[in-house]
Chains A and B, each alone.
Chain A
Amino acid sequence: MAREVTVRVAGREIRLAVQRLDATTWRVAADDGASHIVRSIVHAGTRWLHFDGETIAVPLGGGAAGRTTRRTAGGGREHTETLEVPMPGAVTRVAVREGEVVAAGQPIAVIEAMKMEHVIRAPHAGRVLSLRVRQGEQVDAGAVVAELGPPDAAAQGPAGGRG
């Protein structure tokens, strides 16, 4: 049974009637009555959707990736960057040590996937608060490689496992 839903895209309200046909197939009818077959499935926190040559992957819940900002107890604003692996692969090199102060653009680790090297670099100067990967390790997309704090931050890793 079709369900009518009104959504807002780029500030505009759009009304659609959607009906699930099977596990990956939906019929979507627009206001003007035209109906289209759309393929979609949710997996591992991401909605995949294909229609007429366009495929999009939308993280559910709008989870922002890669960047967290924490406030310190003293009320000051401490910027901590969580450097994440953008794709699954193998860690072929860890180029820094915990506690090391690094320059902007300095390589932190090298991930190899599908025969390509991907260098994870420090987005800005800072201190490596913690290193979460070892050379030779297999990692999933989103795994935390390192936490980068301001250069004057204390060199100790916050608690918590890989993201």
Chain B
Amino acid sequence: MAGRPLRRVLVANRGEIAVRIIRACRELGLETVAVAGDADLDAPHTRLAGRTEHIGPTDPRESYLHQGRLLEAARRSGADAVHPGYGFLAESATFADAVARAGLRFVGPPAGVIERLGDKPAARVLAERVGVPVVPGFWPDADAVDAEMFAAAADRLGYPVLVKAAAGGGGRGMRVVEHPQNLRAALESAEREARAAFGDGRLFLERHLAGVRHVEVQVVADEHGHIAALGERECSVQRRHQKLIEESPSPGADPGTRTKLAAAAVAIAQASGYVNAGTVEFLLAPGGRYYFLEVNTRLQVEHPVTELVANVDLVKAQLRIAAGEPLERAGIPADAPPRGHALECRVCAEDPAEAFRPSPGPILALDEPQGPGIRVDSGLREGWEVPPAYDSLLAKVIVWDRTRAGAVARMEQALRDYVILGCGTNLTFLRDVVRHDAFRRGETPTDFLERHFSGWRPEPSEFVLATAAALAEAEVAPRPSAGAGTGPAGNWDPWNDGSGWRIGGARG
């Protein structure tokens, strides 16, 4: 690498993204330092890293969110750079600043940029200044949530309205409010959730637009004034305002829209003084109207779909840019027309039949899919136990093929091959989603799951149900096969008993 090469990178994260970053560091010949709270001391990411720093208890506030402990770990391990991953402190301007003050490189944008864009109301002002349309909304000046002012603003905007956290991300602190009488309760719970998740309870309102898609543009900028837009990702398949399936290119964007979105994203990045990888998010309405939503000043969960269609490695690019390299030497082409189609499914420890409620548990058996065009970014290992203290994301299945139809077929195949026993997951749900006609047609507004999958229940085949009963019988009373099989030995009948078998595992 160039003038200010990195040598040892502390990865201030866990799970699949820590694994992903550690691998990229190793490919670049960089030494790696993992960090772990109590529950993660033997987690997969710690096994890959050159060394692991124990940074405290399981509670993320005392470990992955604890700036002092992370900086101390960086000092102790002799790291010269910190990669924050996504979530946790990835979009904390104070952390980026503290890292820089400690004389370390922060693998992400400078603190000032994070601060400017991380405050969502301020980011909207910036977008409007460079001529990018924003969603109509209400952004109060005061820090405290004044329910009366919000109610008046919601009446002006018209219901349904969206309550969002000023410091938000990942759908936390976000609520759709259909009726005025529900606004106060939504404000209270959103404020509590936002305070817990971000230490910042400020809220704002947006008009809830119907029939829109969530489309975002990946940008990468270097310290030398170059900015590249690497195409768009569509992330409309969401539950609880959290993305579940992402793809690139967007089936809802024509070439003209694609060009306009890229130009808007570059204008916003430029105006903010952006450096490193970031994502500019938009809502795309039917007919091609688009509205700026926010900028995510970090690596996104769904970055792999861009990597596959743009043929880049965003994590390696981030590291090279942090070392002062220009875009071209960081492996980012000036112009990257998308090649083929990529899809990503997020495999989560959650029960789609029970409002996506978390279902952490032990990984008793694990087979991850493989084959041409299939990539699995996973934070799993057989024999490990998924802790309840962290995000439910376990792994991502990313596929590529020349056409969208080919990619969808490949995704279905990959999901069918994925075996996780012991920890309830959404794998069967994801399979059903990618099989759905509307998904196959690319008709995926942000309410796709509510529209087509509310009340979804798994429908196991007769063979699966019969096998479960047969194995129970075979394991309980092992007998030689001779003479067996006369009469119904296992009378368990999932349709008639009240035992409540379920896909998610946790009994309800």
Contacts and interface: CB of A to CB of B under 8 A. Distances in A.
Interface in B464-490: 464-475, 478-481, 484-490
Nearest to A3: B481
Nearest to A36: B463
A37 B183 CA distance: 52
A58 interface: yes
A95 interface: no
A41 interface: yes
Interface stretch (A4-12, A69-77, A146-154): A4-12
A9 B420 contact: no
Contacts of A10: 462, 465, 493-495
Contacts of B485: 4-6, 15
A25 B289 CA distance: 53
B255 interface: no
B462 A14 contact: yes
A117 B192 CA distance: 10
A114 B391 contact: yes
Given A3-B478, A5-B489, A43-B364, A115 B458 contact: no
Nearest to B413: A53
A39 interface: yes
A109 to B, nearest CB: 14
A59 B501 contact: yes
Nearest to A66: B508
B420 A117 contact: no
B157 to A, nearest CB: 26
Contacts of B458: 54, 56
B231 interface: no
B172 interface: yes
Contact of B503 (A40, A57, A88): A57
A17 interface: yes
Interface stretch (A44-52, A96-104, A126-134): A44-52
A50 B419 CA distance: 7
Given A55-B503, A57-B424, A1 B464 contact: no
A20 B469 CA distance: 14
A103 to B, nearest CB: 15
Interface residues of B, number: 83
B502 interface: yes
Contact of B471 (A26, A30, A52, A64): A26
Nearest to A142: B507
B86 to A, nearest CB: 13
A65 interface: yes
B238 interface: no
Interface residues of A, number: 66
Contacts of A42: 475
Contacts of B196: 92, 112
A54 B460 contact: yes
A24 B364 contact: yes
B470 A54 contact: no
Contacts of B287: none
Contacts of A24: 364-365, 421
B421 A8 contact: no
B461 interface: yes
Contact of A43 (B192, B422, B462, B473): B422
Contacts of B240: 116
Interface in B403-462: 412, 415-422, 424-425, 427-428, 431, 458, 460-462
Contacts of B354: 86
B505 interface: yes
B505 A46 contact: yes
B143 interface: no
Given A62-B492, A64-B499, A87 B359 contact: yes
A43 B362 contact: yes
A118 B364 CA distance: 26
Given A54-B460, A58-B501, A64-B498, A87 B467 contact: no
B464 A49 contact: yes
A156 B172 CA distance: 38
A55 B426 CA distance: 9
A56 B427 contact: no
A27 to B, nearest CB: 11
A26 to B, nearest CB: 6
A115 B393 CA distance: 11
Nearest to A110: B192
Nearest to B189: A117
A85 B428 CA distance: 24
Given A4-B485, A7-B492, A41-B422, A116 B501 contact: no
A113 B360 contact: yes
A9 B494 contact: yes
A3 B474 contact: yes
B197 interface: yes
Nearest to B348: A114
Contacts of B470: 5, 7, 16, 18, 28
Q: What 4 A-B pairs come out closest when comparing CB atoms?
A: A53-B416, A4-B485, A62-B499, A57-B505
Given A7-B489, A64-B498, 16 more contacts: A5-B469, A6-B488, A10-B465, A13-B488, A14-B466, A38-B467, A48-B421, A50-B365, A51-B461, A53-B431, A54-B461, A55-B427, A58-B501, A59-B501, A89-B388, A90-B388
27 contacts: A4-B485, A5-B470, A6-B489, A8-B488, A9-B494, A10-B495, A18-B471, A40-B467, A40-B471, A42-B475, A53-B417, A53-B418, A55-B503, A57-B503, A64-B498, A65-B508, A87-B388, A90-B389, A112-B196, A113-B357, A114-B391, A115-B197, A115-B392, A118-B357, A141-B506, A141-B507, A142-B506
Interface of A: 1-18, 20, 24, 26, 28, 30, 36, 38-43, 46-66, 86-90, 92, 112-118, 141-142
